[in-house]
Amino acid sequence: MTAVTVAVVAKECLPGRVKTRLIPALGPEGAARVAAASLSDTLATVRALPAARRILFFDGEVVPAAAEGFHVLPQPTGDLDERLGTLFDAVQGPLLLVGMDTPQVRPADLAAVFEQPERDAWFGPAEDGGFWALYLHVPDGALIRGVPMSKDDTGAVQRARLVDAGLDVGDLAPLLDVDEIADADRVVELAPDSAFAAALASERTTSGGAR
């Protein structure tokens, strides 16, 4: 079986720095705690995958306890496309990138990658127009640099970049990124037993979260 490295791209969950669009509903501290739970769920799923190596591609200083056993690779400065490009240039061998904003992700959502790791690429689109997963059998940062991030067409542009490079691209199921509080509520319905669901419920029972 092809040895696949899985990397989770994440930032330290500090108040006012993560999930800012949840702040009106949960406050900055509550939004940060919910983000931390989202990251914890994602790391747990990645831990359950048959990966040869696991990386936390991290922007921050205090590494979460849930990342025990992961190799921590600090993110460089620069725009997100440049940072991701650096990651895809640094890793040798097949690389699967997963974001931290889809706490409902389960190993089954990524099973196709491990069933067909010889495929050139796998792409996981997000409902908001971005992407939640990206796999390259031969990592190449040039396939990511220059893609405009956090736009409605980010996913379409990224996938087109892969196709235009002549890669055979497989598609994973679309997943919902948690951006707004309505997204969080939908994810709780999809993953009611997750740490994310518990954290959101806890915040809503406090004075800071009842907004």
Find the CATH number of the domain harbouring 178: 3.90.550.10
The pLDDT of residue 199: 97
List the end-to-end C-alpha distance of the chain, in Å, as a whole number: 50
Judge whether 210 lies within some domain: no
pTM of the model: 0.94
Residue with tokens 């050139």: 120
Judge whether 110 lies within some domain: yes
Per-residue pLDDT of 89-111, as tens digits, reads 999 999 999 999 999 999 999 99
Judge whether 209 lies within some domain: no
Judge whether 211 lies within some domain: no
The pLDDT of residue 210: 43
The whole-angstrom separation of Cα 126 and Cα 182 is 15
Residue 106 lies in domain: 5-204
Confidence band, pLDDT 50/70/90 cuts, at residue 206: confident
Judge whether 107 lies within some domain: yes
- Whether the CB-CB separation of 31 and 46 falls below 8 Å is answered with no
As for how many domains the chain has, the answer is 1
